[in-house]
Amino acid sequence: MRRIPYLNSARDVEDALQEVAACKAAVVYTLVRPDLREVLVAKAAELAILCVDIMGPILTCLAAVTGRPPLHEPGLIHKLDEAYFSKLEAVEFAVKYDDGKQPWGLSKADLVIVGVSRTTKTPLCMYLAHKGIKAANVPLVPEVPIPEELLALPAAKVVGLTMTPALLYEIRRERLKALGLAEGVDYASMERIYQELDFAQNIMHKIGCPVIDVTNKAVEETAAKILEHYRKGAGKFNG
Protein backbone atom coordinates (compact mmCIF):
# COMPACT_ATOMS: atom_id res chain seq x y z
CA MET A 1 0.00 0.00 0.00
CA ARG A 2 1.30 3.42 -0.91
CA ARG A 3 -0.06 6.75 0.35
CA ILE A 4 0.18 9.82 -1.89
CA PRO A 5 -0.72 12.97 0.10
CA TYR A 6 -1.01 16.66 -0.83
CA LEU A 7 -2.70 16.39 -4.21
CA ASN A 8 -3.52 20.06 -4.72
CA SER A 9 -4.02 20.30 -8.49
CA ALA A 10 -5.34 18.37 -11.48
CA ARG A 11 -1.74 17.83 -12.58
CA ASP A 12 -0.90 16.24 -9.21
CA VAL A 13 -3.84 13.86 -9.56
CA GLU A 14 -2.98 12.89 -13.12
CA ASP A 15 0.68 12.27 -12.28
CA ALA A 16 -0.33 10.06 -9.35
CA LEU A 17 -2.68 8.04 -11.54
CA GLN A 18 0.05 7.49 -14.11
CA GLU A 19 2.09 5.84 -11.35
CA VAL A 20 -0.93 3.75 -10.36
CA ALA A 21 -1.48 2.62 -13.95
CA ALA A 22 2.15 1.56 -14.23
CA CYS A 23 1.72 -0.64 -11.14
CA LYS A 24 -1.67 -1.99 -12.27
CA ALA A 25 -3.05 -1.02 -8.86
CA ALA A 26 -6.37 0.27 -7.55
CA VAL A 27 -7.03 3.65 -5.94
CA VAL A 28 -8.84 4.37 -2.67
CA TYR A 29 -9.10 8.15 -2.33
CA THR A 30 -10.18 10.75 0.23
CA LEU A 31 -10.03 13.91 -1.83
CA VAL A 32 -12.04 16.75 -0.29
CA ARG A 33 -12.23 19.06 -3.28
CA PRO A 34 -15.02 18.11 -5.76
CA ASP A 35 -13.05 19.37 -8.77
CA LEU A 36 -10.14 17.06 -7.99
CA ARG A 37 -12.49 14.13 -7.42
CA GLU A 38 -13.97 14.73 -10.88
CA VAL A 39 -10.50 14.81 -12.44
CA LEU A 40 -9.55 11.60 -10.67
CA VAL A 41 -12.70 9.75 -11.77
CA ALA A 42 -12.30 10.85 -15.40
CA LYS A 43 -8.60 10.05 -15.58
CA ALA A 44 -9.05 6.71 -13.80
CA ALA A 45 -11.70 5.68 -16.34
CA GLU A 46 -9.37 6.69 -19.16
CA LEU A 47 -6.58 4.56 -17.71
CA ALA A 48 -8.91 1.68 -16.71
CA ILE A 49 -8.02 2.06 -13.04
CA LEU A 50 -10.39 0.77 -10.41
CA CYS A 51 -11.08 3.45 -7.78
CA VAL A 52 -13.16 3.84 -4.60
CA ASP A 53 -14.29 7.20 -3.21
CA ILE A 54 -14.31 7.20 0.61
CA MET A 55 -14.68 10.91 1.41
CA GLY A 56 -17.41 11.87 -1.10
CA PRO A 57 -20.24 9.69 0.28
CA ILE A 58 -19.34 10.65 3.85
CA LEU A 59 -19.52 14.37 3.03
CA THR A 60 -22.83 13.91 1.23
CA CYS A 61 -24.26 12.04 4.22
CA LEU A 62 -23.08 14.62 6.75
CA ALA A 63 -24.44 17.46 4.63
CA ALA A 64 -27.85 15.75 4.51
CA VAL A 65 -27.94 15.14 8.27
CA THR A 66 -26.67 18.56 9.37
CA GLY A 67 -28.17 20.69 6.63
CA ARG A 68 -24.80 22.38 6.23
CA PRO A 69 -22.68 22.29 3.07
CA PRO A 70 -19.12 20.94 3.26
CA LEU A 71 -16.32 23.50 3.32
CA HIS A 72 -14.32 21.44 0.80
CA GLU A 73 -11.14 22.76 2.38
CA PRO A 74 -8.24 20.26 2.64
CA GLY A 75 -6.02 20.20 5.72
CA LEU A 76 -8.55 21.33 8.34
CA ILE A 77 -7.65 18.46 10.65
CA HIS A 78 -4.04 19.64 10.67
CA LYS A 79 -5.18 23.14 11.61
CA LEU A 80 -7.10 21.65 14.54
CA ASP A 81 -4.00 19.78 15.62
CA GLU A 82 -1.98 23.00 15.49
CA ALA A 83 -4.57 24.78 17.64
CA TYR A 84 -4.50 21.92 20.16
CA PHE A 85 -0.74 21.92 20.50
CA SER A 86 -0.74 25.72 20.67
CA LYS A 87 -3.01 25.49 23.74
CA LEU A 88 -0.76 22.89 25.34
CA GLU A 89 2.26 25.09 24.78
CA ALA A 90 0.43 28.08 26.28
CA VAL A 91 -0.56 26.07 29.38
CA GLU A 92 3.03 24.95 29.88
CA PHE A 93 4.14 28.55 29.48
CA ALA A 94 1.64 29.78 32.11
CA VAL A 95 2.91 27.19 34.60
CA LYS A 96 6.56 27.94 33.89
CA TYR A 97 6.20 31.70 34.30
CA ASP A 98 3.61 31.73 37.09
CA ASP A 99 3.98 34.04 40.08
CA GLY A 100 7.03 35.89 38.77
CA LYS A 101 9.16 32.79 38.22
CA GLN A 102 11.98 33.22 35.69
CA PRO A 103 11.34 36.90 34.86
CA TRP A 104 13.84 36.70 31.98
CA GLY A 105 11.13 34.86 30.06
CA LEU A 106 8.58 37.69 30.23
CA SER A 107 9.61 38.97 26.81
CA LYS A 108 8.33 35.69 25.32
CA ALA A 109 4.81 36.23 26.72
CA ASP A 110 1.86 37.43 24.67
CA LEU A 111 0.53 39.11 27.81
CA VAL A 112 1.81 39.70 31.33
CA ILE A 113 -0.68 40.02 34.19
CA VAL A 114 0.37 42.02 37.27
CA GLY A 115 -1.29 42.70 40.61
CA VAL A 116 -1.13 42.02 44.33
CA SER A 117 -1.64 38.57 45.82
CA ARG A 118 -5.13 36.98 45.45
CA THR A 119 -6.36 39.11 42.56
CA THR A 120 -6.88 36.04 40.30
CA LYS A 121 -3.66 36.38 38.30
CA THR A 122 -2.94 32.65 38.05
CA PRO A 123 -6.50 31.51 37.17
CA LEU A 124 -6.61 34.19 34.48
CA CYS A 125 -3.33 33.04 32.96
CA MET A 126 -4.56 29.44 32.85
CA TYR A 127 -7.88 30.52 31.29
CA LEU A 128 -6.05 32.57 28.66
CA ALA A 129 -3.73 29.63 27.99
CA HIS A 130 -6.74 27.56 26.94
CA LYS A 131 -7.43 30.30 24.41
CA GLY A 132 -3.90 29.85 23.04
CA ILE A 133 -2.51 32.98 24.75
CA LYS A 134 0.89 32.71 26.39
CA ALA A 135 0.33 34.65 29.61
CA ALA A 136 2.76 35.14 32.50
CA ASN A 137 2.03 36.87 35.79
CA VAL A 138 4.09 38.90 38.22
CA PRO A 139 3.02 39.64 41.83
CA LEU A 140 3.54 43.21 42.96
CA VAL A 141 4.98 43.19 46.48
CA PRO A 142 6.54 46.31 48.10
CA GLU A 143 9.51 44.34 49.46
CA VAL A 144 10.31 42.61 46.16
CA PRO A 145 12.13 44.53 43.41
CA ILE A 146 10.18 44.90 40.18
CA PRO A 147 11.87 42.85 37.41
CA GLU A 148 13.59 45.03 34.84
CA GLU A 149 12.17 42.72 32.19
CA LEU A 150 8.66 43.78 33.21
CA LEU A 151 9.45 47.48 33.03
CA ALA A 152 11.00 46.99 29.59
CA LEU A 153 7.79 45.57 28.09
CA PRO A 154 5.45 47.68 25.94
CA ALA A 155 2.54 48.95 28.05
CA ALA A 156 0.01 47.27 25.74
CA LYS A 157 1.55 43.89 26.60
CA VAL A 158 0.85 44.30 30.33
CA VAL A 159 -2.49 44.18 32.15
CA GLY A 160 -2.89 45.27 35.77
CA LEU A 161 -5.46 43.85 38.20
CA THR A 162 -6.87 45.60 41.25
CA MET A 163 -9.62 44.93 43.79
CA THR A 164 -11.45 46.74 46.57
CA PRO A 165 -9.60 46.49 49.90
CA ALA A 166 -12.65 45.05 51.70
CA LEU A 167 -13.03 42.11 49.32
CA LEU A 168 -9.31 41.45 49.20
CA TYR A 169 -9.32 41.38 53.00
CA GLU A 170 -12.05 38.73 53.07
CA ILE A 171 -10.35 36.62 50.38
CA ARG A 172 -7.03 36.68 52.21
CA ARG A 173 -8.67 35.76 55.52
CA GLU A 174 -10.32 32.75 53.87
CA ARG A 175 -7.01 31.80 52.31
CA LEU A 176 -5.31 31.81 55.71
CA LYS A 177 -8.10 29.66 57.15
CA ALA A 178 -7.69 27.15 54.34
CA LEU A 179 -3.97 26.94 55.10
CA GLY A 180 -4.62 26.56 58.85
CA LEU A 181 -2.82 29.82 59.68
CA ALA A 182 -3.79 32.55 62.14
CA GLU A 183 -5.99 35.27 60.67
CA GLY A 184 -4.16 38.08 62.42
CA VAL A 185 -0.97 37.92 60.34
CA ASP A 186 0.14 41.00 58.44
CA TYR A 187 -0.85 39.44 55.09
CA ALA A 188 -4.54 39.86 55.89
CA SER A 189 -4.45 43.19 57.72
CA MET A 190 -6.22 46.19 56.17
CA GLU A 191 -3.14 48.34 56.68
CA ARG A 192 -1.01 45.91 54.69
CA ILE A 193 -3.64 45.58 51.96
CA TYR A 194 -3.88 49.35 51.49
CA GLN A 195 -0.08 49.53 51.34
CA GLU A 196 0.13 46.81 48.67
CA LEU A 197 -2.69 48.26 46.56
CA ASP A 198 -1.11 51.72 46.61
CA PHE A 199 2.26 50.25 45.67
CA ALA A 200 0.73 48.22 42.84
CA GLN A 201 -1.20 51.23 41.54
CA ASN A 202 2.01 53.26 41.35
CA ILE A 203 3.79 50.49 39.44
CA MET A 204 0.91 50.11 36.97
CA HIS A 205 0.88 53.88 36.45
CA LYS A 206 4.63 53.80 35.83
CA ILE A 207 4.21 51.03 33.25
CA GLY A 208 1.23 52.82 31.68
CA CYS A 209 -0.76 49.59 31.32
CA PRO A 210 -4.55 49.23 31.37
CA VAL A 211 -5.98 48.22 34.74
CA ILE A 212 -9.03 46.06 35.47
CA ASP A 213 -10.93 46.14 38.75
CA VAL A 214 -11.70 42.46 39.31
CA THR A 215 -13.97 43.04 42.32
CA ASN A 216 -16.88 40.60 42.12
CA LYS A 217 -15.93 39.65 38.55
CA ALA A 218 -15.73 36.05 37.37
CA VAL A 219 -12.49 34.95 35.75
CA GLU A 220 -14.33 34.56 32.44
CA GLU A 221 -15.58 38.14 32.59
CA THR A 222 -12.13 39.55 33.27
CA ALA A 223 -10.61 37.32 30.59
CA ALA A 224 -13.12 38.63 28.04
CA LYS A 225 -11.90 42.18 28.69
CA ILE A 226 -8.27 41.09 28.44
CA LEU A 227 -8.90 39.23 25.17
CA GLU A 228 -10.61 42.30 23.73
CA HIS A 229 -7.56 44.36 24.63
CA TYR A 230 -5.21 41.72 23.23
CA ARG A 231 -7.02 41.54 19.89
CA LYS A 232 -6.99 45.29 19.53
CA GLY A 233 -3.29 45.40 20.41
CA ALA A 234 -3.76 48.40 22.67
CA GLY A 235 -6.41 50.42 24.44
CA LYS A 236 -7.86 51.13 27.84
CA PHE A 237 -10.30 49.22 29.98
CA ASN A 238 -13.50 50.65 31.41
CA GLY A 239 -13.67 49.18 34.89
What pLDDT sits at residue 78?
64
What are 123-155's pLDDT values in tens digits?
Answer: 999 999 999 999 999 999 999 999 999 999 999
| pLDDT averaged over every residue in the chain | 91
What are 99-123's pLDDT values in tens digits?
Answer: 999 999 999 999 999 999 999 999 9
Q: What percentage of the chain carries pLDDT values higher than 90?
A: 77
What are 174-186's pLDDT values in tens digits?
Answer: 989 888 887 778 8
Q: Cα–Cα–Cα angle for 96, 181, 203, nearest 5°?
A: 50
Instruction: Using alpha carbons, list the distances in angstroms from residue 197 to 42, 100, 141, 191, 192.
Output: 73, 18, 9, 10, 9
What pLDDT sits at residue 76?
67
Q: Is the model's pLDDT at 234 over the cut of 70?
A: no
What pLDDT sits at residue 14?
94
Q: Is the model's pLDDT at 235 over the cut of 50?
A: no
State the pLDDT confidence band at 237, using cuts at 50, 70 and 90: low
Q: Is the model's pLDDT at 97 over the cut of 60?
A: yes
Average pLDDT, integer, range 26-46: 94
Q: Which of 19-33, 94-108, 161-175, 220-234 has the lowest mean pLDDT?
A: 220-234
Average pLDDT, integer, range 10-26: 93
What are 57-90's pLDDT values in tens digits?
Answer: 998 999 999 999 988 787 666 666 677 888 999 9
| Sequence-distant (≥ 6) Cβ neighbours of residue 83 within 8 angstroms | 132
DSSP string spanning 76-115? HHHHHHHHHHHHHHHHHHHHHTGGG-SGGGGGG-SEEEEE
